[in-house]
Amino acid sequence: MPKQDNKMPNMSESPKRMKEIEDVFDNIDNYQAGLPLIKKLDNAGKIIEVREVASNYTYNEREEPATIEEYKNWTKKILADKFINEFKNQASFTIKIDNYIENAYQFYKHQPFFYDKIGLFWFWNFSDKKYVCVDDVDVMNKLDRVLGFNGQTVSRSVKCNYLEAMKRVGRLKQPKPAPKKWIQFKDKAYSLGSGQVYVVTPDYFFTNPIPWELGKSTETPVIDKLLEEWCGVKGKQTLLEILAYSCYTDYPLQTIICLHGCGRNGKGQFMKLLTKFVGKENICSSELDTLINSRFEAFKLYKQLICSMGETNFGILNKTSLLKKLVGGDMIGFEKKGKDPFDDFNYAKIIISSNSLPTSADESDGFFRRWNIVDFPNEFSEGKDIIKSIPDVEFNNLAKRVIEVLPVLLECGKFTDQGSILERREKYMLASNPLPIFIRQCCIKEDTEYVSYNQLYTAYVKFLLHNKKRRVKMGEFKQALETDGFWIERTSKADDEGLFRSGNWVVGLNLKKNYADCVNYEPVSTPLSYIGSGVESDTQSTQSAQEKPEIIDFLDDFP
C-alpha cells in the first residue's frame, strides 16, 4: 500500500466523507489505542512534538502546531483510510456475494448483532455501549457498507437470502442477559450486589446506559436545593429515590408515581432533571387512555426505563388491569405492529405529571396501594430554565449517590413518606375526586337537610383552592354530586333567615356552621406531607416562590 502523505490533510472534509469515516469507527471499539502519544504541549494546549502514529504514517514538524482535537481528527482519518483500504483489499479476494452464512459471520466480527426470538434485530452501538433495535433496512444498509457490496444486495433474492442468513447467525449470537443488579453508567456497569465495577461488552444484553460517569463524591448542592424547594425536606428524599429507582431494570416496588400540583410548581422542571440524568433515549412518552386502550402502545415501554405521561383526562378510569400488570411485576403482552405478539416483563417506571387524576371505578386496595402521589405545593414565578444552572459534575456525583440510595430503597420496600394504603387511597381521592372528602369534613349529611347549590359550589371551590387542587366547573360539580347520590332540585326553600327563596337546592346536604374552618384537608389517620402548607427555603432561593393566592367568594359570580 502506498505511503500516506504526512502533511496535515484539509480539515474541511465533505459531509459524505466524514460520514464514511464515522461509519468505519462505529466498528472499531478502541481506535484510541492507535492515536499517537503527545510528548509536549505549549501553554495554549497546542501540540509541539508528537510520537509516530504508525509505521507508515508519521507527523513531522509543521509551521503552526495543531490543537489536540485537530490532531485527533487527523489521526482518525489516517487510521480510517488504512482500515478501509486494507479491508477492501482483503474483501476483494475473500468475499463472494453468494456466500451468505460465511459473510454473516464475517459481518459479525465488525458489527456484533443478534436476532431474538421475538423477531427483532439488535446491533451493538460502540459509542453508547448498548444494543439498539434495528429494522431490516438498517441491517441491509450496514451489511452492504461493511462488506463492500456497493448496492449488489438490492436484488430481492439476494436480500432475502442475506436476511435469512443474518437471522440464523444472529440467533446463535444472542448475548447473556445483563443482571438486574447491574446499573450501567456509560461504559461501566456497577453491581449493587458486590459493589464491583465491570467494563461493558457486547457479551451482555445492555440497552439502558445512564449517560453519566460515576462521580468522585456524592455532593450535589444545586440539585439538593432545587429538590427541597419543590417538595420540602421529606419530599426531597422521595425525589432522590425516584431518580434512583428510575435507573433500575426491574419493578420490585409496585408503584405508579404521580407528580401532582397546579402549574408553575416545579414538577415539569423535575421531569427535565430526570430526563437529563437518565437520558432521553431511555424514556418513552404515552397517554393513560392510549396505553389502556391501544394494543400496540405497551410496546413503547419495552426496554425503556421510564414511561412519562402528561395531563390526564378528567373522566372515569374503568380499565385498570393492564395498569396494575405494568407495575406489578406480572408478565404482560407486548405487540409491535407487523410482528408477532410476545410476553415479557415491564420495567419502565410509569411517571405521571398532572394537576388531577381520573376518578377510578376500581375501589380495591390493590389499585390504590400502587400509587405514590408526590405533591408539589409551591408556585414559582416564570423565568429561565433552572436545569441549565446545574453543573455537569453534579450529574456525575448524582450517579454515585444513586448507587447508595437505591439499595436502601429496595431493602425498605417503599418510598419515603408514601403512607399506609388508607392514606394512599385518600390522597388519590383528593387528587381525582375530592368531593367525598369535602362532604365528610365540611358538610352535614341528613335527609332533612338542604343547601343552596351556588353556596355549596362556592364552598367547594374554596376547599379546592385552599388545598391547591384544580378548580372544577359547575357542570362537573353537578355530575360528581349525582354520582355520589345527591340531586339538585329547582324549588323554593327557606334560607338561614327563614325567608323562602327560589333556586337550585341540593337535598340531603348542608354546610356545617364552621365549614370555613374545615377547608384545610385533614386525612383519616396520620397527616400527609406538604398539602396546604408552605415549604421552607433559604433566603436566596434558586426559584422565587409566589404568595399564596387569595381565596375569593364566588357567590357573586352566579345569579
Question: pTM here?
Answer: 0.73
**Mean pLDDT on 321-346:** 90
Check pLDDT > 60 for residue 551.
no
How far is residue 348's CA from residue 29's CA, in Å, rounded to a whole number? Answer: 29
Q: Which of 187, 275, 262 is nearest to 431 (CA)?
A: 262
* Better pLDDT: 93 or 326: 326
**Model confidence band, residue 80 (pLDDT cutoffs 50, 70, 90):** low
What domains can be seen in the chain, in order of their start residue? 15-94 (no CATH), 100-174 (no CATH), 221-428 (3.40.50.300), 432-557 (1.10.10.10)
The residue ranges of DSSP E strands in 263-330, in sequence order, are 283-286, 306-309, 316-317
Query: Which DSSP string do the residues of 177-205 spell out, in sequence order?
Result: EPPTTEEEETTEEEETTT--EEE--TTEE
Q: What is the predicted pLDDT for the residue at 318?
A: 77
Q: What CA–CA distances, in Å, run from 95 to 123, 136, 174, 193, 443? A: 22, 22, 25, 46, 84
Check pLDDT > 70 for residue 163.
yes
Q: What CA–CA distances, in Å, run from 18 to 9, 30, 31, 73? A: 13, 19, 16, 10
Residues in a beta bridge with 491: 503
* Better pLDDT: 535 or 457: 457
Q: What is the mean pLDDT of the chain?
A: 80
Q: What is the predicted pLDDT for the residue at 380?
A: 85
What is the b/e burial string over 457-481, where b = at least 16 CB atoms within 10 angstroms of the residue's CB? Answer: bbbbbbbbbbbbbbebeeeebbebb
Q: What is the predicted pLDDT for the residue at 288?
A: 82
Could you say which DSSP state residue 368 is in? H
**Model confidence band, residue 71 (pLDDT cutoffs 50, 70, 90):** low
Sequence-distant (6+) residues with CB within 8 A of 45 are 67, 68
How far is residue 100's CA from residue 73's CA, in Å, rounded to a whole number? Answer: 35
Q: What CA–CA distances, in Å, run from 193 to 108, 130, 190, 305, 391? A: 32, 22, 9, 20, 30
Percentage of residues of the chain with pLDDT beyond 90: 48
* Better pLDDT: 229 or 379: 229
Residue-wise pLDDT for 104-131, tens only, equals 999 999 999 999 999 999 999 999 999 9
How far is residue 252's CA from residue 173's CA, in Å, rounded to a whole number? Answer: 30
How far is residue 87's CA from residue 84's CA, in Å, rounded to a whole number? Answer: 5
**Mean pLDDT on 421-439:** 88
Q: What is the predicted pLDDT for the residue at 390?
A: 96
* Better pLDDT: 488 or 528: 488
Check pLDDT > 70 for residue 140.
yes
Q: What is the predicted pLDDT for the residue at 357?
A: 85
How far is residue 179's CA from residue 172's CA, in Å, rounded to a whole number? Answer: 20
Distance of CA 327 to the CA centre of its chain: 15
